[in-house]
A and B are shown apart, each in its own frame.
Chain A
Amino acid sequence: MDMEPLAQGTPKRRRWVVEKREKKKKKKKKKKKKREQMEDPQANGDHNHNHIPKKLKLSSPSSFISDSEIRQEFAHHQLGIARINNGSFGSCPASIIAAQKQWQLRFLQQPDDFFFNHLQNGILRSRTLITSLINADHVDEVSIVDNATTAAAIVLQHVGWAFAEGRFQKGDAVVMLHCAFQAVKKSIEAYVTRAGGSVIVVQLPFPVHSDQEIIAEFRKGLAMGKAHGRKVRLAIIDHITSMPCVVIPVRELVQICREEGVEQVFVDAAHAIGSVHVDVKEIGADFYVSNLHKWFFCPPSVAFLYCRKSPIALDLHHPVVSHEYGNGLAIESAWIGTRDYSSQLVVPDVLDFVNRFEGGIAGIRKRNHDAVVRMGELLARAWGTHLGSPPEMCPSMAMVGLPSSLRISSDDDALKLRTHLRDHFEVEVPIYYQALKDGEIGGDNWDGRVAGYARISHQVYNTVDDYLKLRDAINQLVKDGVTCNNLP
């Protein structure tokens, strides 16, 4: 470039001005890219980096997500519904849905290229992030599957084979909580009972007042079950039971299992991630599963199954057998035939989302917990009832006693009430029927007996009005003398 001064107005000068402008633009772009890479190592294609973006985010309070932005993110939720059941099916913000659509489009555009060049990397990236989130040692320990139901099938099918191949003897036992998720109970029937195993059911108290109650009952139940020298091969323990919803002291229960000679422990933590703190090493179980679409903002559906490194982990298989059979559960699970894997690929986007909140996912958990407890107490006061468990045993959900005048007498009644609340009051909340305990007198004595609980959830999109709507709905039903018997 010549150094002579350029005369104003000449084409040469005009060219020089344009070139200078372009150079400036390029420099600015480069700086921006570098800044972005510092904030997100993955922008570099650095797939194996365990780094969680939030640690680098230099956020100031003004850059946290605002209330109106949150409303926008969940604008697709049906208007008018008090949606206080995040626990059943979860929720997914608009920006994650958009990210998922991008992945779906990439597959549709050129599926072969996607399959050969992008899918495996995408899944590995998600697995790596999850490994950090849950404090696992190694990404090999983390497989991604559809949901906790699938994870249960994987672990229980392995138990089935152990019976079939003589490693377990007929009558060897599997332990479960009486309130284990129905799908898991069926899976035990399908894979354990059918293969000759027996099942020890441990009753847990509800309402419950402390961890100690649970620990004592579990110890008792396990000891009773082991009577006559029965060998206990596997214990399945919920981290957060579904119905009724209680945070279980899993770490202590896992320890009891070890002390009592239980061979393996599987923690069904379907609700855990995004709801309570998850540290798989601290909990110490052999298998741990949680759904990311419940409380971790992923689209339906995606879950991780953590399997502590051991010889047994090598013998686990996904029940849908495909090309990768024998290459390890994580690799098997990453290809189970042509399907839409997009929900498994948005985990990095979800981390970006939660980091827009103050305190990231930990902040979200805390605020959800505090709010649901506050709302639970508000409802209990309004109805003259109580919470089914103390605040410290509530995650982002709480069990709130319903007025006895509703006369909830069965699971069917609970479902009828739930439907009625949905259809006539635009409130979505699951109802739990609390069966009579041994020795309790039922019959027509409904005086003050809380036979039903509402399991209320709180997620970032909820507002106080949602709970006031439930409060008023129930008050209306009580005022009108409605019972589950005379529900339309």
Chain B
Amino acid sequence: MASDDHHIPNGSTTTPPDIQFEFAHHDPAIARINNGSFGSCPSSVISAQQDWQLKWLQQPDDFYFNTLKPSILKARLIIRDLINADHVEEISIVDNATTAAAIVLQHVTWSFLSSQFQPGDAAIILHYAYGAVKKSLQAYVARAGGQIIEVKLPFPVNSDEEIIQEFRKALELGRMNGRKIRLALIDHITSMPSVVIPVKELVKMCREEDVDQIFVDGAHSIGCVDIDVKDIGADYYTSNLHKWFFCPPAVAFLYCKKSDILNQLHHPVVSHEYGNGLAIESSWIGTRDYSAQLVVPEVMDFVNRFDGGIDGIKKRNHEKVVEMAIMLAKAWGTHLGVPPHMCSSMAMVGLPACLGIFSHSDGLKLRAYLRDCFKVEVPIYHREPEKGEDSPITGYARISHQVYNTVEDYYKFRDAVNKLVNDGVTCAFLSD
């Protein structure tokens, strides 16, 4: 079915979704302002997924032989169009960005082991790269003899220029002594703290500086910011569809620009399709529930019931989260960690210094306390203050806005923090 039929700006042939109904399964007592961590999935998509699960249970052999592969192909074709890739062979569907990282980095391992890369060749990553990805670099790059260069980025940050400058410095440092940079791993939207990175410019710089390959970790991107993989120009690009694109857990795409190397990429869970190309390998990694990968068409139907489709959703989420962030910052006398144009559907809002957030574990304690005592779900980021900072803000809340959020969610958070401040509560007093 052509989802374009439904994409009419004034929504005259489709009914806008009943948001209350679609997200009725969300715990109603919680102010759920953390869509970034685990995403969300509307009832109509869950229902579609259950239909797929039932089909499998009814007659798995028939499903395996006749239905599974064409259905995955359908999802891949939709994703190809969504991200402006050239060929469907460039699109593989995997569980999540973590798996995509393992695929790309395992290939780096083999390059070291087969002496295509030399010991000491480097991979460059952002200091704010996702924790799981850093571990993957340890497991696959460092272990194979590669060096890891981390680019320290400023936070709070005020402009793209600041990021571009730091990255350029790090690239130059990295290439000192004739060291070869084999891979740059760049977040499109960093996780903690959450910042939209000027990936196009960084990719361009990497090309100019002769970096072999560039992998953009866009875990949050799809449904959150625009993705045009040709425009961005990276060799690899991954994003989770279960975060901001309304899919059930878990499904992600890994885009691999057509090249000789594409044939050398493998899914680490090796099955019958080994050697038939990454996309085909990934479509069968043993008996599993593939239903999350099959509902992409139903998700397109869902987003196209909104005014402006996914673009409209992105725009409204962004505007709303900035509005709420500014409201909170005003109420608490703090500031945003990132200017609006570098916010996605998430924003970093400074928390009052008197809360005494002095470590990562303080952030966790505060998050748990907000969940248990105030029914607010929001992740807290701790930042090390610079030397000589006066009364620094060391804690930031990463607030999200998705279609199911209401203003009350943020008021609840505002009031919770105000109460903590009034009561003189600090993280030191909170139990582990």
The reply to whether A419 and B289 form a contact with Cβ atoms under 8 Å apart is no
Binds B, one of A9-17, A58-66, A317-325: A317-325
- Report the Cα distance A156→B266, complex, angstroms: 15
A259 at the interface (CB under 8 A from B): no
Chain A residues within 8 Å of B99, by CB = 320, 336-337
* Interface contact B270-A149, CB-CB below 8 Å: yes
Which positions 395-428 of chain A face chain B at CB distance < 8 Å?
419, 422, 428
Given known A319-B106, A428-B59, contact A153–B96 (CB-CB < 8 A): no
Residues of B within 8 A of A97 (CB): 57
Residue of A nearest to B64 (CB): A89
Please tell me if the beta carbons of A337 and B274 are within 8 angstroms of each other in the complex.
no
B61 at the interface (CB under 8 A from A): yes
Residues of B within 8 A of A146 (CB): 269, 285-286, 288
Q: Is the CB of A183 within 8 A of B272?
A: yes
Judging by beta carbons under 8 Å apart, are A338 and B242 in contact? yes
Q: Is B132 an interface residue (CB 8 A)?
A: yes
Given contacts A293-B287, A301-B287, contact A186 B274 (CB under 8 A): yes
Of the candidates A92, A152, A191, which one forms a contact with B57 in the assembled complex, judged by CB atoms under 8 Å apart?
Answer: A92
Whether the Cβ atoms of B138 and A325 lie closer than 8 Å is yes
* Residue A343 interfacial (CB < 8 Å): yes
A333 located at the interface, meaning its Cβ lies under 8 Å from any Cβ of chain B in the complex? no
Q: A419: which B residues are within 8 A, CB to CB?
A: 65
Counting chain A CB atoms within 10 Å of each CB, the highest count among B41, B135, B140, B144 belongs to: B135
Question: By the criterion CB–CB under 8 Å, are A337 and B250 in contact?
Answer: yes
Task: Give A320 to B282 CA distance when docked, in angstroms.
Answer: 13
Closest residue to A108 on the B side, CB-wise? B25
Cβ–Cβ < 8 Å partners of A182 in chain B: 272
Residue of B nearest to A74 (CB): B57
B420 on the A face (CB < 8 A): no
Given contacts A116-B368, A147-B286, A190-B266, contact A109 B139 (CB under 8 A): no
Q: Report A405 CB to chain B, min CB distance, Å.
A: 25
B19 at the interface (CB under 8 A from A): no
Once A182-B272, A340-B249, A340-B292 are accepted as A-B contacts, the answer to whether A317 and B371 lie under 8 Å apart by CB is: no
A114 to chain B, nearest CB (A): 8
Interface string of B116-158 (1 = CB under 8 A from A): 0000000000000001100110111001100000000000000
Q: Does B79 contact A (CB under 8 A)?
A: no
Residues of B with C-beta under 8 A to A191? 270
A53 to B19, CA, bound (A): 43
Contact of A321 among B30, B57, B139 (CB under 8 A): B139
Does B98 count as interface, using CB distance less than 8 angstroms? yes
Q: Does A480 contact B (CB under 8 A)?
A: no
Partner pick for B38 among A189, A194, A321, A338, CB 8 A cutoff:
A338
A81 on the interface (CB 8 Å rule)?
yes
Please tell me which one of the listed residues B27, B144, B287 contacts residue A109 in the complex, with CB atoms under 8 A apart: B27
Determine the interface band of chain B, counting residues with CB < 8 A from chain A. 35 or more
Task: Tell whether B341 is near chain A: CB-to-CB under 8 Å.
Answer: no
Q: A146-B288, A183-B271, A186-B271 are in contact. Are A110 and B132 (CB under 8 A)?
A: no
Cβ-defined contact, B285 with A338, below 8 A: no
**Which B residues touch A153, using CB under 8 A?**
268-270
Whole-angstrom CA separation of A121 from B138 in the bound complex: 28
The yes or no answer to B162 lying at the interface (CB within 8 A) is: no
A322-B135 contact in complex given A109-B25, A110-B30, A186-B274, C-beta closer than 8 Å: yes
**Given contact pairs A301-B288, A325-B138, A340 touches B102 in the complex (Cβ within 8 A):** no
B228 at the A interface (CB under 8 A): no
Q: Decide yes or no whether A291 CB sits under 8 A from chain B.
A: yes
Residue A235 CB within 8 A of the other chain = no
Q: Does B60 contact A (CB under 8 A)?
A: yes
CB interface residues, A 194-214, toward B, < 8 Å: 194-195
Q: Across the interface, which residues of A come within 8 angstroms of B269, CB to CB?
A: 146, 149-150, 153, 319
Produce 1/0 per residue, A74-97, CB < 8 A to B. Answer: 001110010101001111100001
- Closest B residue to A186 using CB positions: B274
Contact call A338/B56, Cβ cutoff below 8 A: no
Interface pair B113/A76, CB less than 8 Å apart: no
Distance of B194 from chain A, by nearest CB (Å): 16
Residue of B nearest to A324 (CB): B135
Interface residues of A in 430-452 (CB under 8 A from B): none
State in angstroms the CA–CA spacing of A194 and B242 once bound together: 35
B46 touches A108 (CB 8 A): yes
Is the C-beta of A105 less than 8 angstroms from some C-beta in chain B?
Answer: yes
A117–B368 CA distance with the chains assembled, in angstroms: 10
Q: Does A221 contact B (CB under 8 A)?
A: no
Q: Which residue of the partner chain, among B39, B46, B138, contacts A338 with CB atoms under 8 Å?
A: B39
A388 on the interface (CB 8 Å rule)? no
Which A residues are in CB contact (< 8 Å) with B135?
321-323, 325-326
Asked if A299 is at the interface of the complex by the 8 Å CB criterion, the answer is yes
Q: Interface size on A (CB < 8 Å)? A: 65
Q: Are B60 and A89 in contact (CB under 8 A)?
A: yes
Bound complex: CA of A168 vs CA of B269, how far in Å? 22
The answer on a CB contact under 8 Å between A190 and B274 is yes
Chain A residues with CB under 8 Å of B287's CB are 88-90, 147, 291, 293, 300-301
Q: How distant is the Cα of A248 from the Cα of B282 in the complex, in angstroms?
A: 31
Counting chain B CB atoms within 10 Å of each CB, which of A148, A150, A343 scores highest?
Answer: A150
Judging by beta carbons under 8 Å apart, are B34 and A320 in contact? no
Chain A residues with Cβ under 8 A from B58's Cβ?
76-78
Cβ-defined contact, B288 with A111, below 8 A:
no
Complex-state Cα separation, A105 to B249, whole angstroms:
12
Check B60–A88 contact: CB distance below 8 A. Answer: yes
Residues of B within 8 A of A111 (CB): 37-39
> Most A CB atoms within 10 A — which of B95, B131, B268?
B268
Q: Does B62 lie at the interface of the complex (its beta carbon under 8 Å from any beta carbon of A)? A: yes
B27 cross-chain contacts in A, Cβ below 8 A = 109-110, 113
Chain A, residue nearest B132 (CB): A322
Bound-state CA distance A112–B37 (Å) is 8
Instruction: Check A340/B57 contact, CB under 8 A, given A191-B270, A321-B98.
Output: no
Distance in angstroms from B190 CB to nearest chain A CB is: 16
Give the docked Cα–Cα distance between A78 and B59 (Å): 6
CA distance A111 to B135 in the complex (A): 23
Q: Mark B36-73, 1 if CB is under 8 A from A, else 0.
A: 01111100001000100010111111101100000000
CB distance A325 to B289 under 8 Å?
Answer: no
Given the contacts A112-B34, A319-B269, A323-B135, A81 and B59 also touching, CB distance less than 8 Å: yes
Q: Is B248 interfacial (CB 8 A cutoff)?
A: yes
Residues on A with C-beta less than 8 A from B206 are: none
Q: Are A323 and B132 in contact (CB under 8 A)?
A: yes
Q: Which of B54, B242, B289 contacts A300 (CB 8 A)?
A: B289
Tell me if A223 is interfacial: C-beta within 8 Å of chain B: no
In the assembled complex, A383 has its CB within 8 A of some CB on chain B? no
Quick check: is A56 within 8 A (CB to CB) of the other chain? Answer: no
Additional 20 contacts, C-beta under 8 A, given A161-B143, A338-B38, A422-B62 = A88-B61, A89-B60, A91-B57, A92-B57, A107-B38, A109-B25, A110-B26, A113-B27, A147-B288, A183-B272, A189-B270, A301-B288, A319-B268, A321-B138, A321-B139, A323-B132, A336-B98, A339-B95, A339-B249, A340-B248
Where the two chains meet, the residues of A that have a C-beta atom closer than 8 Å to any C-beta of B are 76-78, 81, 83, 85, 88-92, 97, 101, 105, 107-113, 115-116, 146-150, 152-153, 156-157, 161, 164, 182-183, 186-187, 189-191, 194-195, 291, 293, 299-301, 317, 319-323, 325-326, 336-340, 343, 419, 422, 428
- 27 A–B contact pairs at CB < 8 A? A78-B59, A85-B61, A88-B60, A90-B60, A97-B57, A108-B26, A108-B40, A108-B46, A110-B27, A146-B288, A148-B286, A149-B286, A156-B270, A161-B143, A164-B113, A182-B272, A186-B270, A194-B110, A301-B287, A319-B102, A319-B268, A321-B138, A336-B99, A337-B132, A338-B250, A422-B62, A428-B61
Chain B residues in the interface with A (C-beta under 8 A): 25-27, 30, 32, 34, 37-41, 46, 50, 54, 56-62, 64-65, 95-99, 101-102, 105-106, 110, 113, 131-132, 135-136, 138-140, 143-144, 240, 242, 248-250, 266, 268-272, 274-275, 285-289, 292, 368, 371, 377
The 6 closest A-B pairs by CB, nearest first: A149-B286, A337-B98, A319-B268, A111-B38, A89-B60, A186-B274
